[in-house]
Structure 1
């Protein structure tokens, strides 16, 4: 088991080299953040305009509807731009020229599959919130565990949507679950490893924001706040790109046995050993 976790960290380190070769991919998750933020702002303005703010907290139907809308927005936008990164990563692994525009075009071609998965994800997420509020014995911990299970089962859904295009939700879910079962140790470690690798930068950015808000004044506060915000956003963007690069490479290995991208230079005798 320790070999699996060590392998996952090695994959994260190698994925940084892939990102350095194609830093322009960072524009895709940045656009995702802008799109999600804009959509949430529009929903918030609509809630205030129609006087629904109180109902969000007191009316279950409105609250669950707002929950579904929020989950659907974040899921659809996130999957769309992640699909663009996966497409670009796959082309780069194959030695082909690519760009963010190519990725966006590929994601647009898969828009129906993306929309279906986003609706399924939002529905399941909303049902878990409903169950937590209304079903005895289902609490926050249970919902968190179920959410985690769903997240692991759908870990490779975006690569499946982009590369396989089966058009079947059941088939895509089965392929994602099968790929995760094959590489579960490396997948989990890589996912956590990316966050841990960038944690110092994230904490630095948060610290600068706190200092700017609590103790700094004047121009110093604005500069610290701006730099802190940039660091936090940068880590979010890089984390998203690296995560999709790793998932794309792991999915290729799990399904075809190919060691591409961040896996290509790793020792084949030390990676993906079976327990």
Structure 2
């Protein structure tokens, strides 16, 4: 167990070192997240409000808006993840990523991205319905299903970038790669998710402290509390950016190792192989 934790930490550090050496990479998941949030605010929230009414026509319209918003958000995230993968591949190869060129790669794949975004959005909606309607069992099933889906489809983005396949074939290819090297994916993703979760938890603690100060009522406490809430939000957002950028780099490095039998950037064959060994 401790060996796996150490391996995961090393994979996380090396993935993040690529991001630190190429700070422009973080702009891509940030942009994807911003567009996704805008889609939720502008489209999904009004849709949810309509769903809460008692008129059938309004509920139907609300359902349509929620579906459209979920799709737009999914497309935005995947589009910029594809751009991130293209840029990360250049960085891992020792070059200087050109973000405009990376976005051009994503635009060239926009048709396939649109189809994969539809598949991804449908799965997300189904899992949400299971979670909302199934009680405790639904929460459990949706949680396990979501985790399995994330792992099995982890390689979809690199496959979309580097292979000329459609969304279904990309999912099959990702699943095949997962079966071939499941240990690295689990080890790396758990480590990255654990670090991001810890950072998020710190942000939440800071934010809660700020809220408690706001409740005190004095002017000084309110100013300090407001600042702490803001800092907490920024820390939580930073955790999301860290996770997105680091996973993007790790995914490309692992894909290149599995598909091309070649370790790139700071990764060694031992880094990407040892995670599946049991001894």
Structure 2 length-normalised TM: 0.83
Q: Does 1:115 align with 2:109?
A: no
Which whole-Å CA distance do the structure 2 matches of 1:218 and 1:121 have between them? 42
Q: CA deviation at 1:196?
A: 2.2
Give the gaps of 5 or more residues in structure 2: 215-220
Which whole-Å CA distance do the structure 2 matches of 1:200 and 1:127 have between them? 28
Provide the alpha-carbon RMSD of the alignment. 3.1
How has the CA–CA distance of structure 1 residues 57 and 222 changed in structure 2, closer, same or farther, with 3 Å as cutoff? farther
Q: Does 1:196 align with 2:194?
A: yes
How has the CA–CA distance of structure 1 residues 150 and 268 changed in structure 2, closer, same or farther, with 3 Å as cutoff? closer
Residues 85, 157 of structure 2: 8 Å contact kept? yes
Residues 36, 74 of structure 1: 8 Å contact kept? yes
Deviation digits for residues 70-111 of structure 1 (CA, Å, limit 9, x no counterpart): 432332111111111110010112223223222222111111
How many residue pairs are counted as aligned between the two chains?
Answer: 269
Deviation digits for residues 143-174 of structure 1 (CA, Å, limit 9, x no counterpart): 333333322221110111111132x2332112
Q: CA deviation at 1:267?
A: 4.0
Structure 1 length-normalised TM: 0.84
Deviation digits for residues 106-125 of structure 1 (CA, Å, limit 9, x no counterpart): 11111111110010122233
Which residue does the alignment assign to 1:271?
274
Determine which structure has greater relative contact order: mean sequence separation of CA pairs < 8 Å that are 6+ residues apart, divided by chain length. 1
Residues 28, 80 of structure 2: 8 Å contact kept? yes
How has the CA–CA distance of structure 1 residues 132 and 15 changed in structure 2, closer, same or farther, with 3 Å as cutoff? closer
Which whole-Å CA distance do the structure 2 matches of 1:89 and 1:109 have between them? 17
Query: What does residue range 227-246 of structure 1 map to in structure 2 within 5 Å?
Result: 227-246=231-250
Shifted more, 215-224 versus 34-43: the winner is 215-224
Query: What does residue range 1-275 of structure 1 map to in structure 2 within 5 Å?
Result: 6-44=6-44, 46-47=46-47, 52-55=50-53, 65=64, 67-129=66-128, 139-166=138-165, 168-216=166-214, 217-264=221-268, 267=270, 271=274, 274-275=277-278
* Higher helix fraction (1 or 2): 2
Q: CA deviation at 1:274?
A: 4.4
Which whole-Å CA distance do the structure 1 matches of 2:99 and 2:181 have between them? 28
Which whole-Å CA distance do the structure 1 matches of 2:78 and 2:271 have between them? 31
Residues 94, 265 of structure 2: 8 Å contact kept? no
Aligned to 1:263, what secondary structure does the other structure show?
Answer: coil
How has the CA–CA distance of structure 1 residues 107 and 220 changed in structure 2, closer, same or farther, with 3 Å as cutoff? same
Which whole-Å CA distance do the structure 2 matches of 1:219 and 1:13 have between them? 36
Residues 75, 113 of structure 2: 8 Å contact kept? yes
How has the CA–CA distance of structure 1 residues 268 and 64 changed in structure 2, closer, same or farther, with 3 Å as cutoff? same
Aligned to 2:274, what secondary structure does the other structure show?
Answer: coil
